[in-house]
Amino acid sequence: MQLSGIRVIDLTRILSGPFCTMLLADMGADVVKIETPEGDPVRAQGEIVDGLSWYFASFNRNKRSVQLDLKSAAGMAALRRLIAGADVVVDNFRPGVMERMGLGWEQLRALAPGIVHTSVSGFGQSGPYVDRPAFDFIAQAMSGFMSMNGTPETGPMRSTLPISDLIAGCYAALGTAAALVRRLRTGQGERVGASLVDGLISFGAFASADFLASGKLPVPTGNDHLLVAPYGLFTASDGEIAVAPSNDAVYQKLLHVLELTHLREDPRFATNALRVKHRAAINAHVNMAVSRHDKAHWIATLNTAGVPCGTVMNLAEVYSDPQVLSQQMLLEVEHPGHGAVRMNGFPVKFSEAPCAVRLPAPDPGAHTAEVLREAGLSEAEIAAVSM
Amino acid sequence: MQLSGIRVIDLTRILSGPFCTMLLADMGADVVKIETPEGDPVRAQGEIVDGLSWYFASFNRNKRSVQLDLKSAAGMAALRRLIAGADVVVDNFRPGVMERMGLGWEQLRALAPGIVHTSVSGFGQSGPYVDRPAFDFIAQAMSGFMSMNGTPETGPMRSTLPISDLIAGCYAALGTAAALVRRLRTGQGERVGASLVDGLISFGAFASADFLASGKLPVPTGNDHLLVAPYGLFTASDGEIAVAPSNDAVYQKLLHVLELTHLREDPRFATNALRVKHRAAINAHVNMAVSRHDKAHWIATLNTAGVPCGTVMNLAEVYSDPQVLSQQMLLEVEHPGHGAVRMNGFPVKFSEAPCAVRLPAPDPGAHTAEVLREAGLSEAEIAAVSM
């Protein structure tokens, strides 16, 4: 696999950091999850089946768990031994905590020259908000994302999913992999940072660019597209379809499939700009036409004609969709004592050395002795820190 | 920088692929953007200032542009020469197009042993939907994301921002960097894939895990949190604040700061589960208390007490926020003939070898002769393909 043999000491908990290290572990890194006696709080979150949180299971696959009391000198000594043999350390503590633990950058480098230290934070590693507690919802609010999600009627709306945590985790994994490239070529270590707010700001795309160019604030448009019409959800005989004719050529194809080619003569709809102006009128024509057949008909005929079209799927539909299953986006992972646990597959595909589930999510401290023995600790030293 | 000296041949257009190659270029890769005579359509999209699309400028910084007619034999021959000297090729064509261009995996490998070939697609490189046209909105619909965004009243809602494009671009960059790690250690090349739908499915987080564990479909909760109360937007004397007391200890801190400690005796609010049941009642108490002071008061006092809290910022507020500016998330990039273009900063930070803007987004074909000369083409060969 891509990261086989890369040893990661994972000090993260909850979501953003564990997602980063899951991505690294899925690509073959040996991720050692350090847990305090309390364990990762996610072990007690979400649906618990026979004592196992499937949320925890899905974000901690392919990791080994070492439980250490980091308030004890022996626990910290063991952690330092592990770091000394590692390529990467990942944390999602509030900035300053690593320094207070005696694991600041200079100390890490002294332990392991060439180490890559990756930190996920709410607002970055410096600046006026550096000491604030971070949370996905707050990052959604402070990044501008909420101001653009929803509609003018709903007002600013959070995404139900914790997207700022996940984006930050993804960027942290990217930065880690890139730093490993540099390390392999130069021997140099690196400090990598990703934050919930910065990551979500970077997702502003054309909305950010247009605001910075024009000074005009973007309007949340819900299922309409600010600059394209027709576009959105339309109601077939058995439910809604999403239709996205992205440019004028695709609009012409849409008219053809919907048998609306007579609208080509209508001056109100002659250009996309005019159609945006007459959005309600063109949408009414499309809705009338779409209502004549069922979803399956339109999915087939519109896509064949080159018009992007799909149904709005709930998770039950997603996880039974033939395309999703063909991409192995639903995995069943055998957990000893718990049977098969279903979880998301791998979002990054590799043809030559694909991602794989080598290990189910670990019980707390399941690999304490094994990992410490690999690091060269004596049985007495291991016994001294075992719980 | 992390990827200094890595040569990327970039065949992508629009958003998902160019975002991937922007991330690689920001980290130091030498990205050569191959443009057909028509150029990347994004050059004509978004706010155009003095002939320059700021949207294009922000997603194509740090790249060089080579314009080639890929319908001509000479153009394709020049492209093959460039690929022969590259480490990475990135495309976001529909699956099968690279093969039809004579650039399938075996042909790429023959040209450049050890090449990393990264593809971004709508639905993946195989499966029943492989030939469908892809679009961000359709991926939002088909990944389950829309079914969880919004509220029960609004129904399924798209995010205004093209999150599936951006997530897929981020995963493609991650897969590319990881494949470069393997290549440096083994000499082996790799095919990397990321898709709009798979990427967004992987963002299901606890909603996916809970659905797969319980079979119960998640409810879109807008600004409420399904499992936590109080939580959400509350109205201070001068506007709304987002408050996210993530666990019981933080709830107790919230009560203290809001001077609502008498609620500790109220049996309706004794546990989080009870508060979720009595959400309207506890929210009313919080709103009443919050209304007594302004946003700045609550941002200061709640964060100091450890309760995550922030304002809902629009983009004007984001780009003038002292924290955002301290993290250099707003860049001014000098574009010859256009002056300073404002754009997002770097979402991944490196302390030792930071990301930098080395080049503004290129004019079409600005580097054709330069890049082809580096690849060893003669002046006559360069003249034959120049436009």
Convert the pLDDT of each residue in A231-240 to its tens digit.
999 999 999 9
Q: Report d(CA A331, CA A325) in Å as an integer.
A: 9
What is the least distance, in Å, from the CA of A25 to any CA of chain B? 11
Interface of A with B in 315-334 (CB under 8 A): 315-319, 321-324, 326-327, 329-330
Joined together, the tokens standing for residue B193 give 């894939």
> Tens of pLDDT along A25-58?
999 999 999 999 999 999 999 999 999 999 999 9
pLDDT above 90 (res B143): yes
- Whether B147 and chain A come into contact, CB under 8 Å, resolves to yes
| Cβ contact A321:A333 at 8 Å | no
pLDDT confidence of A225, banded at 50, 70, 90? confident
B203/A307 touch (CB, cutoff 8 Å), yes or no: no
Q: Is A22 on the interface with B (CB under 8 A)?
A: no
Tokens read off for B20: 């991937």
pLDDT in tens, A339-354: 999 999 999 999 999 9
Span B56-84, mean pLDDT?
Answer: 98
Instruction: Check CB contact under 8 Å for A213 and B173.
Output: no
The identity of residue B167, as a single letter, is I
Nearest to B225 by CA among A135, A316, A313, A153: A135
Interface of B with A in 55-74 (CB under 8 A): 55, 57-59
pLDDT of residue A270: 96
Q: What is the 3-state secondary structure (H, E, C) of B96-121?
A: CHHHHCCCCHHHHHHHCCCCEEEEEE
Instruction: Find residue A350's DSSP bridge partners.
Output: B192
What confidence category does residue A179 fall into, taking pLDDT thresholds of 50, 70 and 90? Answer: very high
- Whether residues A308 and B138 touch (CB distance < 8 A) is answered with yes
Chain B neighbors of A140, CB-CB under 8 A = 242
**Please, what is the end-to-end C-alpha distance for chain B in angstroms?**
33
Residue-wise pLDDT tens digits, A95-144: 999 999 999 999 999 999 999 999 999 999 999 999 999 999 999 999 99
Report chain B's mean pLDDT, rounded to a whole number: 97
Instruction: Report which of B229, B222, B225 is spatially closest to residue B274, judged by C-alpha positions.
Output: B229
> A45: which chain B residues are within 8 Å (Cβ-Cβ)?
206
pLDDT of residue B128: 98
Contact list, B146 vs chain A (CB under 8 Å): 242, 312
Under a CB-based contact definition with an 8 Å cutoff, are residues A77 and B229 in contact? Answer: no
How far does Cα A276 stand from its chain's mean position?
A: 33
What does the pLDDT look like over A270-283, one tens digit per residue? 999 999 999 999 99
Q: Is B379 exposed, middle or buried (0-12, 13-18, 19+ CB in 10 A)?
A: exposed
- In the predicted structure, residue B320 carries a pLDDT above the cut 90: yes
Residues in chain B with CB shorter than 8 Å from the CB of A222 are: 150, 154, 157-158, 160
Choose the closest CB to B218 out of A151, A213, A315: A315
Residue B194 has pLDDT above 90, yes or no: yes
- What 3-state class would DSSP assign to B235? strand
For residue B227, the model assigns a pLDDT of: 81
Listed in order, strand segments (DSSP E) in B113-236 are: 116-121, 190-195, 232-236
Is A15 at the interface with chain B, CB within 8 A?
A: yes
pLDDT at position A161: 95
In the DSSP assignment, the letter for residue B227 is T
Contact status of B188 with chain A (Cβ, < 8 Å) = yes
The CA distance from A90 to A18, in Å, is: 9
User: CB neighbours (10 Å) of residue B29?
Assistant: 30
Task: Measure B297 CA to nearest chain A CA, in Å.
Answer: 14
Measure CB to CB from residue A349 to each of B151, B193, B213 and give the nearest one. B193
* pLDDT above 90 for B300: yes
Which residues in chain B have their CB less than 8 angstroms from residue A209's CB?
46-47, 53-55, 57-58, 343
Catalytic pick from B136, B165, B198, B224? Answer: B165
Tally A–B CB contacts below 8 A: 480
Strand-pairing partners, residue A225, are A228
In this structure, the number of other CB atoms found within 10 A of the CB of residue A50 comes to 8
Report pLDDT for A246: 83
Report the residue from B147, B149, B206 with minimal CB separation from A46: B206
Q: Is the pLDDT of residue A377 over 90?
A: yes
Task: Out of A123-132, A310-319, B226-235, pick the least confident.
Answer: B226-235
Contact A67, A38 (CB under 8 A): no
How many residues appear in chain A? 387
Which member of B199, B247, B311 has the closest CB to residue A141?
B311
The single residue of A30, A87, A136, A165 carrying the catalytic annotation is: A165
**Nearest CA to CA, how far is A218 from chain B (Å)?**
8
Whether B348 sits inside 8 A of A174 (CB atoms) is yes
A383 touches chain B (CB under 8 A): no
For range B3-16, the mean pLDDT:
98
The Cα B8–Cα A318 span in angstroms is: 34
ipTM associated with this complex: 0.98
Rounded-to-integer distance, Cα B7 and Cα B40, Å? 20
pLDDT score at B159? 96
Does B273 contact chain A (CB < 8 Å)? no
Please give the residue of chain B at the shortest CA–CA distance from A166.
Answer: B203
Taking CB atoms and an 8 Å cutoff, what residues of chain B touch A193? 348-351
β-bridge mates for residue A234, sequence order? A241
**Strands A7-10 and A88-91, bridge-based pairing:** parallel
Q: Is B181 helix (H, G, I), strand (E, B) or coil?
A: helix
Residue A136 annotated among the catalytic residues of the structure: no
Domains of chain A and CATH, by start: 7-203+324-385 (3.40.50.10540), 232-316 (3.30.1540.10)
E-strand ranges in chain A read 7-10, 30-35, 48-49, 52-53, 63-67, 88-91, 116-121, 190-195, 232-236, 239-243, 309-311, 330-335, 339-344, 349-350
Q: Determine the average pLDDT of the residues in A156-173.
A: 97
Q: Is the pLDDT of residue B303 over 90?
A: yes
Is 90 exceeded by the pLDDT of residue A153? Answer: yes
- Which of B161, B205, B233 minimises the CB distance to A161? B205
Measuring CA to CA, which residue among B213, B356, B306 is closest to residue A134? B306
Q: What is the pLDDT of residue B387?
A: 79
Comparing alpha-carbon positions, the chain A residue that sits nearest to B345 is: A202
The answer to whether A283 contacts chain B (CB < 8 Å) is: no
Mean pLDDT of A179-183: 98
Q: What pLDDT was estimated at residue B233?
A: 97
Residue A387 has pLDDT above 90, yes or no: no
